[in-house]
């Protein structure tokens, strides 16, 4: 009887269930449950070991970023304010009693007059201006959300790039450790053969310890970078070990004239435009508010002496001209003019920043190209020649190690320049209102 046949027999309703069988059944159920959990655990492990893609990181940020979630509440708040702005001022109900509770013929209510009236303000224009201001502010929140989404994507791009850069640095550090350890083996053989001093071995071992420390620093940096990236979608611990992408597939540098033509798409300038619309709506609201607001009333009066009723109506008009509001109106108009000037200043700042980033991007691309085309190939040749010369006894360990360190420094320079090129491209895209483009997978 195999395991599954015995499991069916032990759980059958027709079988005699003794205490030992009940105990065995519990064990079987527990083991079976564990076996059924293995595929799910394996799947989770597979999900974590699969590299995180650029698209997945951006999608998770846009859907789960804690800061972006707050805009749902802000939109609800603004919608409530728009509704409130459209609410009319409540009419007032008045009850007036005259000629009563006095003296003589007016001791009681026989000769009293009772008036019941309702009054209201004609404010259709005022209400519409209040709604315009509330709608302009609501549109400003939409603009802020758009900017926040672009900023979140740009930040995720930078953090994703940081993880990718640390991965490349870690691979570079691991190669350095392997090269240094191979060097120790070579030096040890020459020392054992009496062809090199024992000091060379000690120096080489110290160099191995230093490059291992450098590798450990990169490992810590990678761990921190992964946590920072995961925090973009609210995760406290990352559920990925690596990100995918080719750090050395560099972005292209567009002509500056084309980038300059897209400055108007900068989301920060749209923020100024939204603020300007709010100020203009507030100015129109002020112009209406300074006008006299007429209050109308209508009602009925009861004359107790004759037991008659009569209709009554009235209008209240505030006195005084609008000249006393001229100072306030001038201040509001100045705010409108200030907003236009601030936008021009911001546009100039963006253009200058864009020019600087464009120059830095071109420089980074030139650095990578120079290293890939000239510096690294020549250093590789020099490293191979120096090693052969050391093996032949023509060079000492110091000369060989100097070339090794120069090679490591050049590779680090390529990594740094590649990272800076991508960072500059991300900033250029942000300044021109373009969502960060994916790094080549």
- Express each pLDDT in 85-111 by its tens digit: 777 777 788 888 877 777 776 677 777
Kindly state the average pLDDT of the residues 42-62. 76
pLDDT in tens, 183-224: 899 899 889 888 888 898 999 999 999 999 999 999 999 999
Helix, strand and coil percent figures for the chain, each rounded to 5: 70, 10, 20
C-alpha distances (whole Å) from 128 to each of 92, 121, 136 are 21, 14, 12
pLDDT at res. 311: 82
Predicted confidence at residue 8, as pLDDT, reads 36
Are 243 and 160 in contact by the 8 Å Cβ rule? The answer is yes
Q: Which of 154, 174, 170, 173 is CA-nearest to residue 222? A: 170
- Predicted confidence at residue 286, as pLDDT, reads 66
Q: Are 49 and 105 in contact (CB under 8 A)?
A: no
For residue 282, give every residue at least 6 positions away whose Cβ sits within 8 Å of its Cβ, in sequence order, or none. Answer: 133, 332, 335
Cα 159 from chain centre:
11
pLDDT of residue 117: 77
Tell me the whole-structure pTM to 2 decimals.
Answer: 0.71
- The overall average pLDDT reported for the chain is 80
Residue 16 tokens read as 């005699």
Q: Is residue 39's pLDDT more than 70?
A: no
Mean pLDDT of 148-170: 92
Q: What is the pLDDT of residue 291?
A: 67
Tally of CB atoms within 10 A around 86: 13
Top pLDDT among 50 and 2 is at: 50
- Res 155 pLDDT > 80: yes
Answer yes or no: are the C-beta atoms of 300 and 115 closer than 8 Å. yes
Q: What is the pLDDT of residues 297-340, one digit of tens each?
A: 777 877 777 777 888 777 777 766 566 667 777 777 777 777 77
Residue 33 in this model has a pLDDT that exceeds 90: no
State the alpha helices, DSSP H only, in 50-123.
Answer: 54-64, 66-85
Provide the angle, in degrees to the nearest 10, between the axes of the packed helices 198-230 and 124-192.
160
Tell me yes or no: is domain 58-89+133-291+326-431 CATH 1.20.120.160. no
Return the pLDDT at 359: 95
Determine the 3-state secondary structure of 393 from DSSP.
coil
pLDDT per position as a tens digit, 228-268: 999 999 999 999 999 999 988 898 889 999 998 888 888 78
Predicted local distance difference test score (pLDDT) of residue 28: 35
What band does 23 get if pLDDT is binned at 50, 70 and 90? very low
Contact 434, 378 (CB under 8 A): no
Contact predicate 161/306, CB 8 Å: no
Using a pLDDT cut of 70, give the percent of the chain over it: 81
Range 15-26 average pLDDT: 40
Q: What is the pLDDT of residues 269-298, one digit of tens each?
A: 877 777 777 777 767 666 666 666 767 777
Q: How confident is the model at residue 114 (pLDDT cuts 50, 70, 90)?
A: confident
Q: How crowded is the C-beta side of 197, counted as CA atoms within 13 Å? A: 8
422 CB contacts (<8 Å, ≥6 apart)?
A: 161, 247, 250, 251, 439
Residue 14: which pLDDT band, with cuts at 50, 70 and 90? very low
Q: Which one has a higher pLDDT value, 436 or 16?
A: 436
Decide if 228 contacts 220 (C-beta within 8 A).
no
What confidence score (pLDDT) does residue 17 get? 37
- Residue 158 pLDDT greater than 80, yes or no: yes
Count of all residues that appear for the chain in the document: 441
Q: Is residue 117 classed as helix, strand or coil in its secondary structure?
A: strand
Identify whether the C-beta of residue 335 lies closer than 8 Å to the C-beta of residue 280: no
CA 347 → CA 265, 277, 288, 340, 350, distances in Å? 10, 18, 33, 11, 5
Report residue 400's pLDDT band, with 50, 70 and 90 as the boundaries: confident
Confidence at residue 41, expressed as pLDDT on a 0 to 100 scale: 45
Task: Write the DSSP assignment of 148-206 as a string of letters.
Answer: HHHHHHHHHHHHHHHHHHHHHHHHHHHHHHHHHHHHHHHHHHHHHTTSS-HHHHHHHHH
């Amino acid at each position: 009887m195999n395991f599954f046949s015995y499991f069916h027999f032990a759980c059958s309703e027709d079988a005699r269930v003794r205490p030992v069988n009940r105990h065995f059944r519990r064990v079987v159920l527990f083991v079976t449950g564990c076996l059924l959990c293995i595929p799910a655990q394996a799947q989770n492990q597979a999900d974590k070991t699969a590299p995180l893609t650029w698209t997945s990181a951006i999608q998770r940020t846009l859907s789960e970023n804690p800061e972006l979630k707050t805009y749902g509440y802000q939109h609800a708040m603004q919608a409530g304010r728009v509704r409130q702005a459209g609410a009319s001022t409540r009419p007032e109900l008045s009850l007036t009693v005259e000629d009563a509770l006095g003296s003589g013929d007016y001791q009681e209510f026989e000769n009293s007059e009772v008036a019941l009236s309702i009054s209201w303000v004609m404010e259709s224009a005022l209400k519409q201006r209040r709604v315009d201001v509330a709608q302009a502010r609501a549109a400003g929140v939409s603009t802020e959300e758009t900017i926040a989404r672009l900023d979140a994507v740009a930040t995720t791009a930078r953090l994703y790039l940081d993880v990718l850069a640390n991965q490349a640095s870690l691979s570079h550090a691991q190669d350095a450790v392997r090269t240094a350890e191979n060097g120790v083996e070579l030096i040890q053989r020459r020392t054992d053969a009496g062809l090199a001093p024992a000091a060379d071995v000690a120096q080489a071992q110290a160099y191995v310890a230093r490059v291992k420390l450098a590798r450990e620093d990169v490992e810590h940096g990678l761990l921190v970078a992964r946590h920072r990236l995961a925090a973009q979608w609210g995760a406290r611990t990352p559920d990925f070990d690596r990100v995918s992408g080719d750090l050395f597939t560099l972005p292209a540098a567009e002509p500056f004239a084309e980038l300059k033509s897209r400055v108007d798409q900068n989301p920060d300038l749209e923020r100024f435009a939204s603020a300007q619309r709010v100020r203009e709506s507030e100015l129109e609201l002020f112009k209406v508010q300074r006008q006299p607001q007429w209050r109308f009333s209508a009602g009925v009066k009861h004359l107790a002496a004759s037991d008659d009723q009569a209709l009554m109506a009235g209008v209240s008009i505030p006195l005084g001209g609008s000249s006393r509001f001229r100072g306030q109106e001038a201040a509001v108009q100045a705010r409108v003019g200030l907003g236009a000037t601030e936008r021009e200043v911001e546009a100039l700042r963006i253009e200058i920043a864009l020019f600087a980033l464009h120059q830095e991007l071109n420089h980074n691309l030139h650095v990578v190209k120079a290293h890939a085309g000239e510096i690294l190939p020549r250093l590789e040749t020099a490293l191979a020649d120096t090693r052969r010369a050391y093996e032949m006894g023509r060079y000492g360990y110091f000369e060989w190690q100097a070339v090794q360190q120069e090679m490591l420094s050049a590779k680090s320079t390529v990594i740094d320049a590649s990272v800076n090129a991508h960072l500059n491209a991300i900033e250029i895209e942000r300044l021109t209102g373009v969502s960060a483009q994916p790094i080549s997978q």
